[in-house]
Amino acid sequence: MKIRFLSVLIALLCVLILPDTKFRSYAAEKPIRITVATDATWPPMEMIDENKNIVGFDIDFMNAVASEAGLEVKYKNTAWDGIFAGIAAGKYDAIVSSVTILEERKETMDFSIPYISAGQILVVPKHVQGIEALTDFADGAKVGAQIGTISAFEIKKMEILELKAYDDIGLAFEDMAVGRIDGVVCDTAVASNFALKREEYKEKFKIVGKPFTEEHYGIVVRKGNTRLLNLINNGIRAVQEKGIDKELEEKWLK
C-alpha cells in the first residue's frame, strides 16, 4: 500500500516537474523560440488586460522585434523583485519590462541597445502645494516606489525621506489615495497613466516638476547569451528603421 502510494506520488511529481525542464532544455538549444519575462504591473508599458492577456508598449515592441528577428515569443508574468534572479537561473531567455540600462546591472546581465527613453517623476496628491521635487519634502516624509526600481534608489538617496517599497506600483498609488504616503516616484509613462488617465485617480493626483533622471530602457538577456542578444539588437534596429516604434509610442504613450 505504502509503495503504491509512493509511486503515485513520484509519478505525480514527474508530471508536475518534467514539462518545465523539457521546455527549458529545448529553449536553450533553439533560441528561436524564447520565453520572455515581464512584470505586468507597470501600465502602460506592461500590464494585464481584462482578458488576462499581457499587453502594453513593451509587449507590442517585443513582438515587433521578434517578427523582425524571426523569434517566437512566449511571455511569462514575473514579480519584479526576483525577475533578474530568474534570468540568471535560466528560467527565461529575456526580460522586457521597462528595464533601465544601468552599469551596476550590466555586471550580472546583458542589455540590448536602448529602445526608448524615460525618466523618473514625482506624483503627489492634488491638494498638496509647494512640492515640486523630492527635495521639497519635509523631514521624514514617506515616499513610495516599487521595490528594486530606480525610483526606489532615487528616494533612498534622499536621506531625509522614508522609502516605502511596494511589490507593485499600483499598491503605492492606492496607499497615496488613502493618504498613508506623501508621494510616489515612478517612470514618466506610468505616472501619466495613473495620475492623468485613470478615472479613480485623476481627481486625486497630480504630476509635479520635471523628470529628474534620464534613462534608457533595454531588453535584458542572460549574461553571455550573445547569439540571442545579436538577434534582438538587429530586430530593434529594423523596428526603428521602419518607424514601428514611433507608431507604438503613438498608440500607448500619447
Partner 1 sequence: MAQIIRDPQKNFHNPDIAGVRAASGKKDSRRVTAWGIAFTGAVAAVAYLVIFKRDPYLAIFKFLPDGIAVTFQVTVSAVLLALIIGLCTGLARISENKIIHLTASVYVEVIRGIPLLVQLFYIYFALGRIINIPAMASAVIAMAICYGAYMGEIFRAGIQAVPKGQMEAARSLGMTSVQAMRHVILPQAVKTILPPLGNEFVALLKDSSLVSILAVSDLLRRGREFAAESFTYFETYTMVALLYLIITLLFSRLTGIMEERINAGK
Contacts with partner 1, residue ranges (CB under 8 A): 80-82, 84-85, 88, 105, 107-108, 144, 147-148, 152-153, 164-167, 171-172, 174-175, 178-180
| Nearest distance from C-beta of residue 229 to partner 1, angstroms | 19
- Which element (helix H / strand E) includes 7? helix 2-29
Q: Is 176 helix (H, G, I), strand (E, B) or coil?
A: helix
Residue 151 has which C-alpha cell? Answer: 525610483
Is 28 or 85 the residue whose CB approaches partner 1 more closely?
Answer: 85
76 or 105, CB closer to partner 1? 105
Helices (H), 119-243: 150-157, 169-178, 188-192, 199-202, 226-242
Give min distance, CB of 208 to partner 1, in A.
22
15 vs 178 by CB, closer to partner 1? 178
Compute the least distance from the CB of residue 165 to partner 1, in Å. 6
Minimum CB–partner distance for residue 164 and partner 1 (Å): 4
Is the Cβ–Cβ distance between 109 and 225 less than 8 Å?
A: no
Compute the least distance from the CB of residue 104 to partner 1, in Å: 8
Nearer to partner 1, 60 or 175 (CB): 175
Of the two residues 149 and 233, which places its CB atom closer to partner 1 in the complex? 149
- Taking the alpha carbons at both ends of the chain, their separation in whole angstroms is 65
Q: Measured between alpha carbons, how far is 118 from 41 in angstroms, rounded to an integer?
A: 17
Closest approach, Cβ 137 to partner 1, in A, equals 17
Rg (CA), the chain: 21
- Give the contacts of 57 (CB within 8 A, at least 6 positions apart): 44, 45, 46, 116, 189, 248, 249, 251, 252, 253
Q: Which is nearer to partner 1, 31 or 170 (CB)?
A: 170
**What is the rounded CA–CA span in Å between residue 147 and residue 16?**
31
* Buried b or exposed e, range 13-46, using 16+ CB within 10 angstroms: eeeeeeeeeeeeeebeeebeebbbbbbbbbbbbb
